[in-house]
Structure formats: structure tokens, C-alpha cells
Amino acid sequence: MQRGENQYAMKEIPLVHFDVSPEKFEQYLAAQNEETGEQRKSVDDVIVEDICKEVAILKDLSHPNIIRYYNSFADSCNVYIIMELLDGYSLGDFILSQSEKRHRVKETTVWSIFVQLCAALRYLHVEKRIVHRDLAPGNVLIDEEFNLKLADFGLAKRWGTQSASVMKSFVGTILYSCPEIVQSQPYTEKADIWSLGCIIYELITFTQPFSAGNPLTVAKKIVDGEYEPIDESLYSPLLI
């Protein structure tokens, strides 16, 4: 979309994508009502309100390696999020392209991506007290010079010093989830660091470290720490 001379990206999220069971919604609604004293009966209303609250938090983020969020609104069918428009592609697309060409990613490129992701996560975790919780190659955007921006905070959650700094909800993509999440145990911002390791492993090997034919097998591999070692002849010992 365009306003004046400025161009923006607009993400459309159909409300039908949120498959909320009646039991889960009643529990969630009861918790919301206890906090606010308000009576809200519509599943869609609660979903829209929560997404808009998330975007309001994300609007405060300003970092060269994090996409800018500007606004959000909804109609009867969709939620719309207005964000920075980037000329590039996802890290997932880059990994797939290199794998198909059988081009090993240069170590300097791997380090560049790693350092930029570390900078973004440090800003989120230390300065803003936000955990991404859905860190995956598809949510990392890069350009031709490998400048990187972390995107898609649809599952992001702020936690404060006055509240418990652990979260138990099972969110994100299981292939990049840490053992605590898989086992429904409390976890912290270090869940993002685990996901970062999975991303770098995939960037080096073109495979996810804990891939398998079904989610239960993936979960067992994650908990057991079972993955193929990286060929030590390909990259430096420090990177490995």
C-alpha cells in the first residue's frame, strides 16, 4: 500500500485461521474478564483486540535489524497489520535456493547473519523485555547484501519484572522449539536462542537439526538432543 510518497507492507490475517476450541476460548475469556471486569462474548473480538495490543507493543521497537510496525485495524473477516516494506526475500527462501544449487553458504555470510540476529535478539530481550517465540527462517528477511531484519512477531509476548518471567504456552514452529516448550515446561527468552541455533544449523547443512516424519518423533529428538553432527571440514571449529 502507499500513502503519499511512502510505501508500506500490509499483512492480512483471516480470522478463520484462528481455530479456537470452545473450551479454550471460555478459559481465555474468563481470564480476560477477571483482568478487565468486561464481558466480551465474541471470539473474533478477543482475537482482534489481542493482536492490536501486540502491534501497539511492537510499534515501540526501533532497531536496524527489526522490521518496523506502524498500525493495525480489522474488519469483519480479517486483521490488517501495517509494517515496513522491504525489498528482499526470506532466509528460508535463501536456504532453499542455495540447497537446490548445491552452493554451500560462505562462512562470512553465516557469521554476518548470526551477528545480526544476535543484535536483534539482544535488543528485544535486554532492552525491551520481549521474546519473539516464533523465530524461524521464514520470519527472517534479507536483501542482496545480506542486511537482515527480523519480522513476524505475531506470537511475541512482553513480560515484566513484576510478573513471572516464564511462559508455558506451546507456540511457534515445533522444528525450532526448545525442549522446555515441547515438554510444556516453563521457559524464558532463551527459547529464542535455541531457535537461533537451529536456524544457523540449517543455514550450514540445509536441513533442520531435528527433522522427522511426524511431530512426536521431532519432539523426542528435541528432548533427547538427537541430531546429525556438522561436518567439521566445512566450517571453522568456532562456528560449529
Q: Please, is 224 exposed, middle or buried when counting C-beta atoms within 10 Å of its C-beta (0-12, 13-18, 19+)?
A: exposed
Secondary structure letter of residue 5 according to DSSP: T
Which among 134, 192, 224, 231 is annotated as catalytic?
Answer: 134
Cα–Cα distance, 81 to 167 (Å, whole number)? 25
What is the maximum alpha-carbon separation in the chain?
62
- Clarify whether 87 is annotated catalytic: no
Is residue 136 a contact partner of residue 201, using CB atoms and an 8 Å limit? no
201, 114 contact by CB (below 8 A): no
Annotated catalytic residues are 134
